[in-house]
Amino acid sequence: MKKKAIFPGSFDPITIGHIEIVEKSLMIFNEIIIAIGTNPEKKYMFTESQRLNFIIKYFKNKKNVKVVAYDGLTFKLCKKLDVKFIVRGVRNILDFEYEKNMAEFNRNLGQIETIIITSSNKNSHISSSFVKELIKNNSDFENLVPNTVKI
């Protein structure tokens, strides 16, 4: 049986921390669908098209990694794509608390299970928000993102 999972996020931009979570996820699942969500409340630095391209180019040689964009609730995307698992990465206890609550939400409303994967210590400080601050302030950020992320 082929097991697949959705790894949702805004990926604005994708970081090496996200890459680590995808790589660890592939040790559990046969296929990972990176799902770029749109939140009307957020201001994005990169367009949806740019975010898709950054990720597609990075994973171009991985046939078991797919990339999609979506609007709405993640558990509805899971139902649409017939996926029973969501993968979420956590860096710290604050991330864990938030993700645990979201996991309950998705389990109760969509019968979708969430698999929480922790980042390594070397990547636990990296966030897309942090990377965007570096970019806005003309600081070096290239070592925090894959080489496909271009300004």
Active site positions, annotated: 18, 42, 91, 128
Instruction: Quote the longest CA-to-CA distance of the chain.
Output: 48
The residues, ordered by sequence, that sit 6+ positions from 110 with a Cβ below 8 Å of its Cβ are: 73, 75, 76, 78, 79
* Beta-sheet strands, E only, within 15-150: 31-38, 65-71, 85-90, 113-118
